[in-house]
Amino acid sequence: MNSSLLGNQSGRPFCLLAISYLETINFCLLEVVIIVFLMVLIISGNIIVIFVFHCAPLLNHHTTSYFIQTMAYADLLVGVSCLVPSLSLLHYPIVLSESLVCQIFGYVVSVLKSVSMASLACISIDRYIAITKPLTYNTLVTPWRLRICILIIWLYSCLVFLPSFHWGKPGYHGDVFQWCANSWNTDPYFTLFIVVMLYAPAAFIVCFTYFNIFRICQQHTKEINERRVRFSSQDGEAGEAQPCPDKRYAMVLFRITSVFYILWLPYIIYFLLESSNVYSNRVASFLTTWLAISNSFCNCVIYSLSNSVFQKGLKRLSGAICASCARQRVAKDSSTSRSKRSSNGCHV
């Protein structure tokens, strides 16, 4: 399928992006820079998200925070798992066999991104229930049911990609391992299985729920404005248009979902083309894979920029860190001054 990535006849590393380096560099520099850069962004961004959720109790009032935190933990693990291809590209020795490491890494990344995709679908369902059944929402959506749903998401994701060890590549195309590039091929039937069991249902749920959410919000906004105009005309005051109260929060989640599918669409298209033996290219393979993985960082950026409560929690966290640093600096200065006074007393 793809060529060898670890070496060629001249002894030089065969890099996915096909860029020649100096003779003193015996590894794929650009690939390593891209993966390490993404790894640092993903890990640091999602650690901040997790800390903010623990420091801002108001965020936990939304039931969707369960799924947002699940996505944050899954994305954090994606960033940690990126250490494996980084070490491989740097030619660090691997304890296990290359084929096993390649399969495990592909399986883990696929499972983690499946968790994110399923969580986004569950978030859209949660918002749909909140808007269509507001009176019975608290009885339908309870904390223990949410925990069971999250457990099902993890188990389902693990089971869907489990056949990849014998059936074919689960969809990971960043072939930084030689065995991945030469021996682990995509299977069209396994690809169809993944599309039917994961991609298609998640996309359908998201499209259906958000379409109805915005339709209902638009209808509610129209009714609210009509009532305000009617009552304001009776009182002789002009009424201002009021948006649907659930629409703003739905827009935040819609942005996260939209960016997720925008970044994953090239990857899914390439996955389908390669599985059907229509198109195969190592540069497209690498770029589409790591473009999709970059979504693990985009989630926390979009949520932090769009959610006012999250911004307050982030300010609270940064303020606590700055206050802690200030206290340590004051304590250090006071201890230094005391030591100087004591030393001066000894000399006298």
Predicted confidence (pLDDT) per residue in 39-76, tens digit: 888 898 888 888 877 776 656 556 777 888 888 899 89
Please check whether residue 220 lies inside any domain of the structure: yes
Predicted confidence (pLDDT) per residue in 174-184, tens digit: 556 667 767 77
Structural tokens at position 67: 């799924």
Q: Is the dihedral of CA 148, 153, 154, 156 positive or negative?
A: positive
Please check whether residue 262 lies inside any domain of the structure: yes
Please check whether residue 63 lies inside any domain of the structure: yes
Tokens 């979504």 appear where?
A: 295
Please check whether residue 69 lies inside any domain of the structure: yes
Residue 234 contacts by C-beta under 8 Å, 6 or more apart in sequence? Answer: none
CA–CA distance, 106 with 284 (Å, rounded to integer): 17
Predicted confidence (pLDDT) per residue in 183-205, tens digit: 777 788 888 888 899 888 988 99
Please check whether residue 175 lies inside any domain of the structure: yes
DSSP 332: H
Please check whether residue 33 lies inside any domain of the structure: yes
How many of the other CB atoms lie within 10 Å of CB of 348?
4
Give the Cα-Cα-Cα angle 275, 77, 154 (nearest 5 degrees): 70
Q: 30-44, 94-108, 311-325 — which one is most confidently predicted on average?
A: 30-44
pTM score, whole prediction:
0.74
CA–CA distance, 50 with 52 (Å, rounded to integer): 5
Please check whether residue 123 lies inside any domain of the structure: yes
Q: From residue 136, how far is each of 70, 125, 129, 248 by CA, in Å?
A: 25, 15, 9, 22
> Angle formed by the axes of helices 98-132 and 295-306, to 10°?
30
Report the CATH number at residue 120: 1.20.1070.10
Residue 274 in contact with residue 280, Cβ under 8 Å?
A: yes
Give the Cα-Cα-Cα angle 86, 88, 94 (nearest 5 degrees): 130
Structural domain of 283: 29-228+244-325
Total of domains in the chain: 1
